[in-house]
Structure 1
Amino acid sequence: MSAVLPAAGAAPVIRTVIENAYVVTVDPGGAEYERGHVVIDGAEIVAVGPGAAPGWAIDAAESAASAASPAPVLRGATTASVPTRIERVERVDGSGHLLTPGLINTHHHLYQWLTRGVAQDAILFDWLTALYPTWSRITADTVGPGALGALAVGALSGCTTMADHHYVFPRGSGDILGSIVDAASTLGMRLHATRGSMDLGASQGGLPPDFAVETTADALQASADAVARFHDPSREAMVKIAIAPCSPFSVTGDLLREAAVLARSLDGAVRLHTHGSETVEEDAYCLERFGRTPTQYLDELGWLGDDVWMAHCVHLDDAAIARFAATGTGVAHCPSSNARLSAGIAPVPQLLAAGVPVGLGVDGSASNESGQLGTELRMAVLANRLRGGASAMSGRDALYVATRGGARVLGREAELGSIEVGKLADLALWRVDGVEHAGIADPVAALTLGALPPLELLLVNGRAVVREGALVNADEGAIARGVREAVGVLRG
């Protein structure tokens, strides 16, 4: 248990005290507390440990805490940015609940919420071919409601941070990226939006039709503009932008190469994202067209590094895994989408053993009709055991991948992904004493092997996004109506 000394003269904030929960910190030591507490001042965690919260945490509001009565400094404490004055204390009784870091989705396509249920029995290339014509008609007015629906479902399943890969920008479609940013802001979720792109149409040997692609120059300029407009490099940032050409079969080598140069020339640690080694068909395409595996091809273009993460990475050989590990390249594991499109099972245990950063992803809702990130923990465990045996992946491995692993993939492990003093208060409180989970031997198994537990509270930067299983900042009925209307417009 540790506390921090408040800084003098700071503005008052709300203190949140959660007690009596089963706390899984996912910190480097793997600390868990059967009946533990977490204390939050504003956006930051200021104490975590076993038993009841310390007296100073509760007394602060009653005494209108000020610099004259600061919290005591305990052994191992830090002095940092915790404000002095506490406006009020909100106490949460976590009895019968599991407290975890908020889940981090490292790969999604939010716009695809509008095209669920299409091409249900197709492999990736056939599925894309079936959907490109519909996606060519999207606009900011339809993407916004679709993104809001997908984000809402993510939040209701414990997701606090969403990484969205948007790469379809039809001419005259309006401010699509802005509509996605607005949707996340409405809900209060943390967003890692990527400015994706495609410049390799079918006439040049790519998979997408020519009407779905941009010029290389336009894609690069739009990427730079997106960073200038939306990217926040600060510690508590709610929106960050990455540059994300879509895939080796939909973009030119010039775009990949220049996008990497661009991202690394910009201020604010702008990251890079793409799809890689998703299917055997992609492997065959790269070998035939470039004489290289996807990993070898991307490596030659400057696309391996600790500022890069790739989605899927199902078909990596030992040499590719070693190269990912040596360069710090991250992986977004999307087990349900990989199964839905019969892409295969990514070698996650081998990636983790090699030290590769691995996070969890839903992927596009058109290839995973469930937008729930919480259910992907169970799917990750089960899929990897099918490939590697009963001990290949534990529930706690999956929880790590979905939290601290995801934070590492997105370059935010210093502030997100675990319950530690000084980190930002992105937390999920799950009810595990109801009919689905009462009496379970291990509360973590309720989340990682059982049915998804009801979400009692979801905090982002210490602010409630979900409370008692309902969105705090938006009406779910209105969101559903908006989705239905947008789908109707898109279908014409």
Structure 2
Amino acid sequence: MPANRLVIENCAVATMDTDGTEYASGHVVVAGHRIESAGPGPAPEDLTDVVRRIDGSGHLLTPGLVNTHHHFYQWITRGLAQDCGLFDWLTTLYPLWTRIDEPMVHAAAQGSLAALALSGVTTTTDHHYVFPRGAGDLLGAGIRAAAEMGLRFSPTRGSMDRGASDGGLPPDFAVESTEGALLATEAAIDRWHDPSPESMLRVGVAPCSPFSVSSELLRSAATLARAKGVRLHTHGSETVEEEEHCRERYGMTPTELLESTGWLGPDVWMAHCVHMTDSDIAAFARTGTGVAHCPSSNARVAAGLARVPDMLAAGVPVGLGVDGAASNEYGQLGAELRNALLINRLGSHREKSLTARQTLRMGTMGGAQVLGRQEETGSLESGKLADLALWKVDGLLHSSIADPVAALVFGAPAPLTLLLVNGSPVVEDGHLVTVDEDTIARTTRAQARRLASLAGLTPPTPPTARPV
């Protein structure tokens, strides 16, 4: 018999399985790293080797959330370029980002990961694409932070090889050579990627965007990724300016450019995809290309409203993403559930755009599918990895909402009583158990100030209190 069983019972359960199975009062049994069973009512009394039994009364149990797009390093540049569109926002921040180093990235990753875990995330990706010379092991800094936090991690080795002198958006000092980027990406895969079924670490290939990389890098990166058996990620169709750039330089739309360079397929996912035509959506659906929907970030830089209901109706895999904390200072995926639901109702489908359950599915099974891990996580089913979140929905801000899924998605951020990753606790009673939150706060504050100083910025001082 399997040892070290953990039982959660007497709670509402939203399994997010193919049939959308839910239990008004149900249970989940965890054995080691995996879910042993999920079902209605309390768990069997005759279970052996139970090391912990949790009464989940007043709670909703869901799969852990899956974050499909992020830039961890941006945690230490939050609150800047507050009133900019994407291109102006980027050109404002590139000079700061090219001064980052390994201690800064480790601290920023800790801050980003802490925010994610406290909002119910069990699996996350990161897209790191800025590698100043002599800055240290920046990809390794994020990987180390994720291991310390205990989250399942899918980092992507990003790159930029087309600077301003070659018609790209980033300054020349922020880019790598094409050959250098490909060699470093291959080295990262060889060093870090773990394809095993219970893997906590899978590496992807991620040239940054159509306006910062060459078509040569796109083609060669796709070839490399498929030779190594890893996934591909980039930004796509994020802004009107991006489409204008692609038409002017390549005579193609972003989707046409990406398809011409081998960047559509079931092993690819794109961030944002705000400005998608019917033919773009059809191409994504036909090829199984996934989308990371980032509603808060899209609003922050005024990128526009993605056609998520149309993508879902066409069969496009769609997950949710926080995006970098410099374009989403909240930094938590739990908030993206509510924002995705509400923002999409401003579009042409109005109140029929998304339901609470469709939105929760995007944040769980949808994200797992986008990252290629739908057979292992994303739903509460026997044999799947024990990545789950137990939300308290009987407190002041939720108790009058009879539907627990609506309480989680429509309501205020729900307190997180327990977050399990691979069967191990990462959050208990709303606090991290694997790392110290106060230490992370101090370290990220110090590194943000150090970066600002190196960049010649004066940190703002709080306003002087005035007598009432």
- Give the C-alpha shift of residue 444 in structure 1: 0.6
The alignment status of 1:321 with 2:311, answered yes or no, reads no
Residue of structure 1 equivalent to 2:18: 28
SS at match of 2:362: helix
| 8 A contact 1:324–1:330 mirrored in 2 | yes
Residue of structure 1 equivalent to 2:457: none
SS at match of 1:191: strand
- Give the C-alpha shift of residue 56 in structure 1: 3.3
CA distance in 2, matches of 1:194, 1:404: 20
CA distance in 1, matches of 2:184, 2:330: 31
| 8 A contact 1:20–1:94 mirrored in 2 | yes
- The one-letter code matched in structure 2 to 1:243 is V
- 1:87-143 Cα offsets, whole Å, 9 max, x none, are x42101100001000000000000000100000010000000000000000001111
TM-score (norm: length of structure 1): 0.91
SS at match of 1:171: coil
Residue of structure 1 equivalent to 2:162: 200
- The one-letter code matched in structure 2 to 1:160 is T
- Give the C-alpha shift of residue 393 in structure 1: 0.4
- The one-letter code matched in structure 2 to 1:106 is T
Residue of structure 2 equivalent to 1:108: 70
SS at match of 2:257: helix
1:119-158 superposed matches below 5 A:
119-158=81-120
Q: 1:13 to 1:176 in 2, by over 3 A?
A: farther
- The one-letter code matched in structure 2 to 1:403 is T
- Give the C-alpha shift of residue 439 in structure 1: 2.4
1:83-482 superposed matches below 5 A:
88-266=50-228, 269-387=229-347, 388-482=349-443
- 1:326-376 Cα offsets, whole Å, 9 max, x none, are 000000000000001110111111111111110000001000111110000
CA distance in 1, matches of 2:102, 2:153: 17
1:17-96 superposed matches below 5 A:
17-57=7-47, 60-61=48-49, 88-96=50-58
- Give the C-alpha shift of residue 447 in structure 1: 1.1
Q: Give the % identical residues.
A: 62
- The one-letter code matched in structure 1 to 2:10 is N
How big is the alpha-carbon RMSD for the aligned residues of Structure 1 and Structure 2? 0.8
| 8 A contact 1:426–1:461 mirrored in 2 | yes
SS at match of 2:346: helix
CA distance in 2, matches of 1:411, 1:205: 34
CA distance in 1, matches of 2:444, 2:21: 41
The alignment status of 1:487 with 2:453, answered yes or no, reads no
SS at match of 2:69: strand
- The one-letter code matched in structure 2 to 1:23 is V
CA distance in 2, matches of 1:337, 1:45: 34
CA distance in 2, matches of 1:221, 1:400: 37
Q: Which runs of 4+ in 1 moved over 2 A?
A: none
- 1:186-211 Cα offsets, whole Å, 9 max, x none, are 11011110000000000000000000
Structure 2: where are the runs of 5+ without partners?
454-468
CA distance in 1, matches of 2:33, 2:439: 29
- Give the C-alpha shift of residue 14 in structure 1: 1.7
- Give the C-alpha shift of residue 391 in structure 1: 1.4
- Give the C-alpha shift of residue 485 in structure 1: 1.1
SS at match of 1:38: strand
Residue of structure 2 equivalent to 1:78: none
CA distance in 1, matches of 2:227, 2:351: 45
- 1:228-275 Cα offsets, whole Å, 9 max, x none, are 111000111111100000000000000000000001111xx3000000
Structure 1: where are the runs of 5+ without partners?
1-5, 7-11, 62-87
- The one-letter code matched in structure 2 to 1:16 is L
SS at match of 2:420: strand
- 1:441-479 Cα offsets, whole Å, 9 max, x none, are 211111111101000000001100000000011110000
CA distance in 2, matches of 1:145, 1:476: 12
- 1:164-196 Cα offsets, whole Å, 9 max, x none, are 000000000000011100100111011110000
SS at match of 1:225: helix
SS at match of 2:202: strand
| 8 A contact 1:446–1:452 mirrored in 2 | no
| 8 A contact 1:110–1:146 mirrored in 2 | yes
SS at match of 1:95: coil
CA distance in 1, matches of 2:249, 2:408: 44
SS at match of 1:319: helix
- 1:414-435 Cα offsets, whole Å, 9 max, x none, are 0010000110010000000111
- Give the C-alpha shift of residue 13 in structure 1: 3.7
TM-score (norm: length of structure 2): 0.96
- 1:376-408 Cα offsets, whole Å, 9 max, x none, are 000000011110211110111110000000000
CA distance in 1, matches of 2:434, 2:261: 43
- 1:277-316 Cα offsets, whole Å, 9 max, x none, are 0000001111111110000010000000000000000000
- The one-letter code matched in structure 2 to 1:345 is L
Residue of structure 1 equivalent to 2:459: none
| 8 A contact 1:18–1:37 mirrored in 2 | yes
CA distance in 2, matches of 1:456, 1:429: 6
